[in-house]
Structure 1
Amino acid sequence: MSNDPLLQPFQLKHLTLRNRIIMTAHEPAYPEEGMPKARYRAYHVERAKGGVAMTMTAGSAAVSKDSPPVFNNLLVYKDEVVPWMKDMTDAVHEQGAAIMIQLTHLGRRTRWDKAFWLPVVSPSHRREASHKAFPKKMEDWDIERIITDYADAAERMKAGGMDGIELQAYGHLMDQFWSPLTNELDAPYGGSLENRLRFTFDVLKEIRKRVGPDFIVGVRYTGDEMLEGGLTKADGLDISRRLKESGLVDFLNVVRGHIDTDAGLTDVIPIQGMANSPHLDFAGEVRAATNFPTFHAAKIPDVATARHAIASGKLDMVGMTRAHMTDPHIVRKIIERREDDIRPCVGANYCLDRIYQGGAAYCIHNAATGRELDMPHTIARAETRKKIVIVGAGPAGLEAARVAGERGHEVVVFEVAPDPGGQIRLTAQSERRKEMISIIDWRMAQCEKYGVTFHFNTWADAGTVQAENPDVVIIATGGMPHTEVLTKGNELVVSSWDIIAGDVKPGSNVLVFDDAGDHAGLQAAEILADAGGRVEIMTPDRSFAPEVMAMNLTPYMRALQNKEVTFTVTYRLEAVEKDGNQLIAYVGSDYGGVSKQRTFDQIVVNHGTVPLDEIYFDLKPASTNLGEVSYEQLIAGVPQSVIRNPDGGFQLFRIGDAVSARNTHAAIYDALRLMKDV
């Protein structure tokens, strides 16, 4: 028996949870036709294999047809969901973990032009800023049918073998009843706090009628909206006591804040550069006030903080949700005393930002997450040991080296810089994004463990590589900023990298022409603004920085909007001329009919990268495959067998930005899916 607080079991009603770490409810957007099919099941089973006590599915499974998900989510208003739930529940139980699901009605937190095109409903006509639909103010028959929908869904989940359910309140319909900011109904469902809670307790009573007293039911809710006129901390503590005293719920899962805006959502679920565990003490206050099973999750990325949360008595179960998206085997590694091997969550929030733009959740530096059917979290040893030479020690090269090393190959890496990291090292120079360097540090530690040899400060040419007598050569040299985008004056501009790296002194009146829409443009703008300059961020697109996405945009806006920074959309920088010590910018528009001249003392261009691929083309004639990748074999997950040159001495591949400008996740995925079969 371990004396580690995290490894102690916890008794929740009749259910024994094997340790104190859970994945709280979240929707990675893997459903197919609203059902948790093979991909969804594999994702949760992997975390169960990794030792988590409980995984909670479906960040907000939809109980009603007028609550259409705003991104791909489970549809628990359908009877056909039951056998799919049973398959997933059985598979998770086989691994020793418990499994629950979160149910909700979104209320106004959705749109009317999805699914069945039914009106959005809420206890008032007030529109939510994030989703922008004007809701219908609910009638009595709306309330009656939605109460029934909740109970029907709960009954389906019990039939599907779930250990329990959690009702999502914060920001969703239940909370819209609770908050005085969004409830304009008359009694019995509006007015006093007791009346505003009536809908929730009516739902809970109806659920209990259907599922009985033994089925586990909890509520995830905000204990303080942190909004003027909204629910206060005192309200939250009162609500917590009422939930406990009702006898209708078995656990509380408390958060703090509001999610009706991108900024509010980001404060509830903080990202990199923001404080870790910002609401943990508040959750501890709720537990102290109620002496009732209390769960909580909000940027608790590391084992030490999680251990403190349990040891101090602040929580009964600690949620490490994004951390488990990064490493599904956290608990197993704790048990095996291998905490140093845990792949760290860096708070990049690539996972959540993707789902809010309609994509599937992927971890920025674990490309196997969400691809469990095809990609391994644990790398198998190769049958034959090979000599692998890798050029470049950025994220792509280091992932290739890590995977090849874990497979047992002899691996040699050449890097021209004195340190590993490539663009990640550049990114991490910004204080707010310094957590990104853990992507590199973790891989370097793993490479050391597997005996990878590194040659830094080494310019590798074709001769250097061939002298190693490699079986496989991986070119991961990345790219360099592409600023040759103007009809005239390309030599007069600097790149976003120049500003971030500190190679060029910030100007005082600067145009940042951002035609890539990624982090580099905004990072450069933040550095320029912090230096006291007047900054204009211009893009030819209809919105700026689309690759940064909503939650990552929040800290940039907080850093930029209180300085002398303006944002200009739908205009294109076409040419630059020098005029004394000033630069004249010639500005047009893709929409036509625009020709403007503007004056700046510095112009920064952010237009992605062009590959550093000279060594690849130098080596290509000497390779067996002439650099060719069989996409069919790559997608199928089988070894590459292309032979275009039987007299060649090695297989040759290039990955990451050495192919084309993409992002960190793409570079790491390139490396993983290629190297796992070498």
Structure 2
Amino acid sequence: MSRDPLLQPYTLKHLTLKNRVMTTSHEPAYPEDGMPKDRYRAYHAERARAGVALTMTAGSAIVSRDSPPAFTNVLAYKDEVVPWMAKLTDACHEHGCAVMIQLTHLGRRTRWDKGDWLPSLAAAQDREPAHRASPKLLEEWDIARIITDYADAAERMQAAGLDGIELEAYGHLMDQIWSPLTNDLDPPYGGSLENRMRFGLEVLSAIRARVGPEFIVGIRYAADEAQAGGITVEEGLQIGHRLKATGQVDFLNIIRGRVHTDPALTDVIPVQGMRSAPHLDFAGRVRAEVDLPTFHAARIPDVATARHAISSGLLDMVGMTRAHMADPHIVQKVMEGREDDIRPCVGATYCLDRIYQGGEALCIHNPSTGRELSLPHVIPPAGTRRNAVIVGAGPGGLEAARVAAERGHDVTVFEAASDPGGQIRLTAQTPRRAEMIGIIDWRMAQCAARDVTFRFNSFAEAQDVTDLSPDMVVIATGGMPEVSVLEEGNDLAVTGWDILSGDVKPGADVLIYDEAGDHVSLQAAELIAASGATVEIMTRDRSFSPEVMGMNLVPYMRTLQAQDTVFTVTRRLKGITRNGNRLRARIGTDYSDHEDMRDFDQVIVNQGTTPLADLYFDLKPLSRNLGAVDHGALVSGQGALFLDHNPDGTFTLYRIGDAVSARNTHAAIYEAMRMGVRW
């Protein structure tokens, strides 16, 4: 029996959980037609196989038709969900992992033009800023119907063999009714705390009448909304005591804050550069004062923090949800004494930002997450040992090297710089994004453990590569800033890279013209604004920084709005000329022929990158495949990736990441892995 606090079993009612690690409810947007089908099941089964004690599915499964699926939610109001959830539960139970599901009615936290186009509804007619729907005010018949819907959904989950359910009460209908900020109802469901809790308690009673006293039922709720006029700490504790007094609640899952705006959501679920585990002590206080089994998750990214949460008695079960998206094998590696081998969650929150922008959850540097059926987390060995040469030690090149070495190949990496990292090393210059270097550090450690040879300060040419007699060559040389976007005066502009690297000092009155919409412009703006300069960020788009997305935008806005910074949309920088010791910007728009002139000390243009691909084209005629890749074989995982177009060629060749076209870190790593596992 291990003495590690994380590996101790925990008994919840009649259920014995084999350790103290769980993944809390979240919706990765993998359901198909509202059902948790094969992809969804594989995602949860991977974590179960690797030792997590409890997987909470759905975030959340919706109980009523008039709660449209804003996040590609599981549809718990349909009977057909039962066999799909049964398959998922059986797959996890095979590995001793308990399964629960989170049930909810979203209330105003959705849109009316989703699902069946039924009006959204809530306890007040105020629009939720995040989803923009103006809800209908709840009527008595709505309340009675929804209570029944909750009970029906719980009964379905019991029939599917789940170990329990969790009711969502933060930002969704139940909590919207609990909170004075979002409840305009008259008694008996509005006014006093007793009245505001009535709906939730009636839901609990209806569920218990259906599933009986033994089925596990918990509630995830905001015990402090951290906003004036909302649920206070004192009222949150009262809610906990009232829930306990019913005898119908088996555990609490503690949240602090609100989720109605991007800034509020980001305080509940912090991103990189923000404090780790900011609400852990508060969750511990609720546990101590209410005395119910207590779960919690909010930026608990590493084993040390999770272990502290358990060993100090703050929690009974600790949630490591984003951490398990980065590495689903955390528990297994802890059990095997391989904590140093855990792929770190770097807090990029690419996963959640994609969900809130209508996409599917993907980890910025684990391409297998969500692709368990097609891209294994454990890389299979190759049948034949080969010689691989990788050019470029950015995230894509290092992933190609790691995968090749894991498969058993001999690997040599050329890198022109003195250190690995590529654009990520530049990104990590900003203290708030310093955690991004974990993407590089982890891969360097993996490569070192597998005897990958590195040649730094080596600007490789074709002869350098061919001298190593490679069987396969990967060009991961990235790109250089594109500087030709303007009609005139491109030579008068500098790039965001120039500012971040320190090669160019910030001006006093600066225009940043951003056509890429990524982190570079905002990082440069932060650095410039911190120097005391005036900054204007301009884009021809109708919104700025779309590639940064909502939650990651929050820290930038908090910094820049407090500085002398202006954001201008739908305007296009056409050209730059000199005007004495100033630069004159000719500014137009895509919407009309209107132009005006304005002067600045410095103009920065961020147009993304152009491929640095000379070496690829030098090697192309020497390769067997002439650089060609069969896209059908690549996507399907079947057939030959590289065709022998050149009988005189001696190696296969392909390029990845920005060496092909300007994209992002995930794209480069994904390309490296899905090609590499086929060698």
Query: Which residue of 1 is the match for residue 643 of structure 2?
Result: 642
After superposition, the C-alpha distances for 1:220-246 in whole angstroms (9 at most, x for unaligned) are 001100001101000111111111121
SS of the residue aligned with 2:575? strand
After superposition, the C-alpha distances for 1:462-521 in whole angstroms (9 at most, x for unaligned) are 000000010000000000000111110000000111111111000011100000100111
Query: Which residue of 2 is the match for residue 95 of structure 1?
Result: 95
Query: Which residue of 1 is the match for residue 355 of structure 2?
Result: 355
Query: Which residue of 2 is the match for residue 671 of structure 1?
Result: 672
Query: Which residue of 2 is the match for residue 223 of structure 1?
Result: 223
**Aligned partners of 1:49 and 1:581: how far apart in 2?**
65
**Aligned partners of 2:126 and 2:381: how far apart in 1?**
58
**Aligned partners of 1:222 and 1:379: how far apart in 2?**
41
**CA positional deviation for 1:112:** 1.2
**CA positional deviation for 1:331:** 0.2
After superposition, the C-alpha distances for 1:588-617 in whole angstroms (9 at most, x for unaligned) are 111113111111010000111000000000
Query: Which residue of 2 is the match for residue 509 of structure 1?
Result: 509
Residues 628 and 642 of structure 2 are in contact (CA less than 8 Å); yes or no, is this contact kept in structure 1? no
**CA positional deviation for 1:581:** 1.0
**CA positional deviation for 1:641:** 3.5
**Aligned partners of 1:649 and 1:133: how far apart in 2?**
60
| Aligned amino acid, residue 671 of structure 2 | D
| Aligned amino acid, residue 172 of structure 2 | H
**Aligned partners of 1:198 and 1:139: how far apart in 2?**
15
**Aligned partners of 1:148 and 1:203: how far apart in 2?**
8
Listed as ranges, the matches of 1:130-529 within 5 Å are: 130-529=130-529
Query: Which residue of 1 is the match for residue 2 of structure 2?
Result: 2
**Aligned partners of 2:594 and 2:277: how far apart in 1?**
49
SS of the residue aligned with 1:223? strand
**Aligned partners of 1:404 and 1:113: how far apart in 2?**
47
**Aligned partners of 1:469 and 1:640: how far apart in 2?**
21
Query: Which residue of 1 is the match for residue 26 of structure 2?
Result: 26
SS of the residue aligned with 2:182? coil
Deviates more, 1:601-610 or 1:68-77: 68-77
**Aligned partners of 2:272 and 2:251: how far apart in 1?**
29
Query: Which residue of 1 is the match for residue 74 of structure 2?
Result: 74
Are positions 1:116 and 2:110 aligned together?
no
SS of the residue aligned with 2:352? helix
Listed as ranges, the matches of 1:610-625 within 5 Å are: 610-625=610-625
Query: Which residue of 1 is the match for residue 658 of structure 2?
Result: 657
**Aligned partners of 1:483 and 1:521: how far apart in 2?**
14
Runs of 4+ in structure 1 deviating by more than 3 angstroms, as ranges, are none
**Aligned partners of 2:637 and 2:419: how far apart in 1?**
32
**CA positional deviation for 1:52:** 0.3
Are positions 1:11 and 2:11 aligned together?
yes
| Aligned amino acid, residue 512 of structure 2 | V
Query: Which residue of 2 is the match for residue 566 of structure 1?
Result: 566
| Aligned amino acid, residue 221 of structure 2 | Y
Deviates more, 1:581-590 or 1:633-642: 633-642
SS of the residue aligned with 2:435? helix
Deviates more, 1:630-639 or 1:277-286: 630-639
Query: Which residue of 1 is the match for residue 127 of structure 2?
Result: 127
Residues 225 and 256 of structure 2 are in contact (CA less than 8 Å); yes or no, is this contact kept in structure 1? yes
**Aligned partners of 1:207 and 1:291: how far apart in 2?**
23
Superposed CA RMSD in Å reads 0.7
SS of the residue aligned with 2:55? strand
SS of the residue aligned with 2:553? helix
Gaps of 5+ in 1: none
Residues 411 and 453 of structure 2 are in contact (CA less than 8 Å); yes or no, is this contact kept in structure 1? yes
Deviates more, 1:87-96 or 1:387-396: 87-96
| Aligned amino acid, residue 513 of structure 2 | F
Gaps of 5+ in 2: none
Query: Which residue of 2 is the match for residue 580 of structure 1?
Result: 580
**Aligned partners of 1:517 and 1:626: how far apart in 2?**
34
**Aligned partners of 1:502 and 1:228: how far apart in 2?**
43
After superposition, the C-alpha distances for 1:164-198 in whole angstroms (9 at most, x for unaligned) are 00000001101111111111111111111011001
| Aligned amino acid, residue 584 of structure 2 | I
**Aligned partners of 1:428 and 1:470: how far apart in 2?**
33
| Aligned amino acid, residue 351 of structure 1 | C
**Aligned partners of 1:400 and 1:303: how far apart in 2?**
27
| Aligned amino acid, residue 221 of structure 1 | Y
**Aligned partners of 2:215 and 2:422: how far apart in 1?**
52
Residues 367 and 670 of structure 2 are in contact (CA less than 8 Å); yes or no, is this contact kept in structure 1? yes
**Aligned partners of 2:477 and 2:642: how far apart in 1?**
24
**Aligned partners of 1:42 and 1:530: how far apart in 2?**
46
After superposition, the C-alpha distances for 1:381-439 in whole angstroms (9 at most, x for unaligned) are 11110000000000000000000011110000000000000000000000100000000
Aligned length: 678
**Aligned partners of 2:490 and 2:465: how far apart in 1?**
34
**Aligned partners of 1:473 and 1:79: how far apart in 2?**
52
Deviates more, 1:631-640 or 1:213-222: 631-640
SS of the residue aligned with 1:102? strand
**Aligned partners of 1:594 and 1:567: how far apart in 2?**
19
Query: Which residue of 2 is the match for residue 542 of structure 1?
Result: 542
**Aligned partners of 1:338 and 1:114: how far apart in 2?**
45
SS of the residue aligned with 1:402? helix
**Aligned partners of 2:272 and 2:431: how far apart in 1?**
10
SS of the residue aligned with 1:221? strand
Residues 480 and 609 of structure 2 are in contact (CA less than 8 Å); yes or no, is this contact kept in structure 1? yes
Q: Normalising by structure 1, what TM-score?
A: 0.99
Identity between Structure 1 and Structure 2 (%): 67
**Aligned partners of 1:215 and 1:598: how far apart in 2?**
68
**Aligned partners of 1:320 and 1:42: how far apart in 2?**
18
Are positions 1:609 and 2:609 aligned together?
yes
SS of the residue aligned with 1:599? strand
Residues 642 and 652 of structure 2 are in contact (CA less than 8 Å); yes or no, is this contact kept in structure 1? no
After superposition, the C-alpha distances for 1:347-401 in whole angstroms (9 at most, x for unaligned) are 0000000011111000000000000010010111111100000000000000000
SS of the residue aligned with 1:181? helix
Deviates more, 1:629-638 or 1:320-329: 629-638
| Aligned amino acid, residue 668 of structure 1 | I
Deviates more, 1:591-600 or 1:553-562: 591-600
**CA positional deviation for 1:640:** 2.2
| Aligned amino acid, residue 146 of structure 2 | I
**CA positional deviation for 1:668:** 0.2
After superposition, the C-alpha distances for 1:249-292 in whole angstroms (9 at most, x for unaligned) are 10000010010110000000000000000000000000100221
| Aligned amino acid, residue 607 of structure 1 | Q
After superposition, the C-alpha distances for 1:91-110 in whole angstroms (9 at most, x for unaligned) are 11111101100000011111
SS of the residue aligned with 1:363? coil
Residues 53 and 98 of structure 2 are in contact (CA less than 8 Å); yes or no, is this contact kept in structure 1? yes
**CA positional deviation for 1:71:** 2.1
**Aligned partners of 2:134 and 2:330: how far apart in 1?**
43
**CA positional deviation for 1:22:** 0.1
After superposition, the C-alpha distances for 1:37-84 in whole angstroms (9 at most, x for unaligned) are 010000000010111001101011111011002121101111111111
**CA positional deviation for 1:636:** 2.0
Residues 427 and 433 of structure 2 are in contact (CA less than 8 Å); yes or no, is this contact kept in structure 1? yes
